[in-house]
Structure 1
């Protein structure tokens, strides 16, 4: 651990890190920049590669605001093939729900009631005179490649925080496994899954034990399979205890929910002709547009992406920047920041959200990126509003309470196994607006203890 230079006010913290046996073999890095002058106020190992965890989201969301724009909206379009007779109300053809990646369809962050967004779509078709559909109802997710980052680990990819983005996302691409647990040491019982598919059944092979006080149950298996293995622990003596897992086929669920909405609207269809599609369709097939649904604007989606550290939203945004491709999205993000004058040799991306430990970045890169955003009037206000506030919101709600940084620091937090960090902005005691990044890797203590060690540094930033 070789310090380059740092202000005397935080030297005590740095010295305590150097003497801490839990950090003896850890990688510690930080960089602090004065946003008015662009000068580095303090740094430590700031050009060394470290794992960013979810602080990676500032890289992806910042580039998305700059390339797609704050007002960008996703479209979901409902087409019909074949013919539609307004006299009889019959569509002799298929209904296609064509998604472009909108992650907000029936998302818990944007849906405040139990009504399905598909109910509104069905009403539109009814108002257009549709009475019967002779063909299929197809949830078309072909706009995105159907994949998950190859570097995501087995323990993540079937859980709610590791869901795959989808060209036609629905219900946050997750479902709930409802458990009942009894006395400590007994095996918990699966009661049901919500939501359920109409024509397919998700098979849950569960070995979950009633023990402890936390949700420590994890879901394993092929994320696109209908068979899920669940193991771990949930608290004893609980009813309706929820464990969230990745949906195997969000596009099919969307199509089935739409069919249910058609039934409620009195529109006939064949319940056996409902399917999803993930392959590029034949462009020669003639389609007629029936309805266009538009998502909330990108600035609202990014607000929840950073505030709640939503991996699904962030991976969706990355593919949107890449016109449906994760790999093209990574290239586009790096090209954007390179054109802004950043040294992208200090950035190695394999995903957009930071879930993979294969991502690496330098704190110099992150702090410099934040400085660029601060000095870009088209980005800063919207981007800054998406960051959790110290002592007030999101994953920063318990940081800096009663200290100067409370309500004066906004930061994106990050945590995966043995990697924790923070990056954002702080208004210091002397009136300086500082951009900062601090990342810890491979510490030999609990995540909670690592948080405490970093918090001391964050508090001192406010005193500069």
Structure 2
């Protein structure tokens, strides 16, 4: 219902935009939206500028600080197009050191990241993990390398050590929507935790697996079984670069193979 109301409001605004003075109509539209019961505890900001004259057409709460949520992606996407250009492509480098004798690399493999947010993502055909691994394997085969004598290194030092903005809340950063951005990212820095709930409210919940597999030395499981059909009310608490965390909240009774999504604390360690 909320989405429908906002769409109607947007349509109304676009229809009246050609009139000489739209400020009163914008004001009445905003007030109508705010009078809806679903907006009872909401705060709204709306700022309209004439792109030809830079004249402020309408201003409602433009100086009030608001949490932008996913709307912020519009601004960051526009900034990326403007600064980097639409032809920009992220890169991830595969390199070697040492010497090659016959089919053996007497050295190590180095994978260096430069911030590609799509590396190993399930979302796009060309970025799926199996295709990334196939491309790396093909590159080594072209050098006739079958055996690596030393190590495989993942280099994530081209970005600052701090992967998260300061001020992000503790309740968010262990969950998928609070994932950080590293020089070397993987699977959108997200993993699934597979759970089995009990049959009755209050029962303990078992952690079955992590997908993809991750190195976690300890995950203190405080999860409980909730009511049937109560939804995902679980929260993961796990800081960047750590292997110790805990999980709280509830998942619905009777659910087996129930998945919740968390943020990877150190994505490059998950690639291998």
TM-score by length of 1: 0.48
Name the SS for the 1:28 alignment partner. coil
Shift of 1:74: 1.1
Q: For residues 217 and 21 of structure 1, what CA distance do their matches in structure 2 show?
A: 25
Partner-residue secondary structure (3-state), 1:109: coil
Instruction: Give the CA deviation at 1:184.
Output: 3.5
1:250 to 2:258 alignment = no
Question: Any unmatched runs of 5+ in structure 2?
Answer: 1-21
Question: What's the offset of the Cα at 1:217?
Answer: 0.4
Equivalent residue, structure 1, for 2:112: 98
2:223 is paired with a residue whose SS is strand
Of 70, 88, 100, 1:54 maps to 70
User: C-alpha distance in 1, partners of 2:213/2:155?
Assistant: 19
Per-residue CA deviation, residues 188-247 of structure 1 (Å, 9 max, x unaligned), is 2111111114xx445322121221421110101323211221111111111111111122
Stretch moving more, 56-65 or 108-117 = 108-117
Question: What residue number does 1:168 align with?
Answer: 184
**Bigger Cα displacement from structure 2, 94-103 vs 54-63:** 54-63
What does residue 236 of structure 1 align with?
253
Structure with greater contact order relative to length (CA < 8 Å, sep ≥ 6): 1
- CA–CA separation in structure 2 for the residues paired with 1:97 and 1:17: 52
CA contact (8 A) 1:7 1:41 kept: no
Q: Which residue is 2:157 aligned to?
A: 142
- 2:88 matched to which residue of 1? 72
SS of the residue corresponding to residue 230 of structure 1 reads strand
Contact 2:33/2:39 (CA < 8 Å) preserved in 1? no
In the other structure, the counterpart of 2:143 is 128
Distance 1:111 1:242, change over 3 A: farther
Work out the number of aligned pairs and report it: 246
Q: Does 1:218 align with 2:235?
A: yes
Assess if the C-alpha contact under 8 Å between 2:173 and 2:237 holds in 1. yes
- Looking at structure 2, the residues matched to 12 and 187 of structure 1 have their Cα atoms a distance apart, in angstroms, of 49
TM-score normalised by structure 2 residue count: 0.80
Partner Cα separation in structure 2 for residue 240 and residue 152 of structure 1 = 30
Deviations 1:124-169 (A, max 9, x none): 2123211211111001111111212221111111111111111111
- The runs of 5 or more residues in structure 1 that have no matched partner are 257-464
Measured at CA, do residues 232 and 73 of structure 1 come closer, stay the same or move farther in structure 2, by a change above 3 Å? same
CA deviation string 1:380-402 (max 9, x = no partner): xxxxxxxxxxxxxxxxxxxxxxx
Q: CA RMSD in A?
A: 2.7
C-alpha distance in structure 1 between counterparts of 2:134 and 2:247, whole Å: 33
- Give the conservation status (yes or no) of the 8 Å contact 1:205–1:230: yes
Whole-Å separation in 2 of the counterparts to 1:16 and 1:251: 46
Deviation at 1:23, TM superposition (A): 5.0
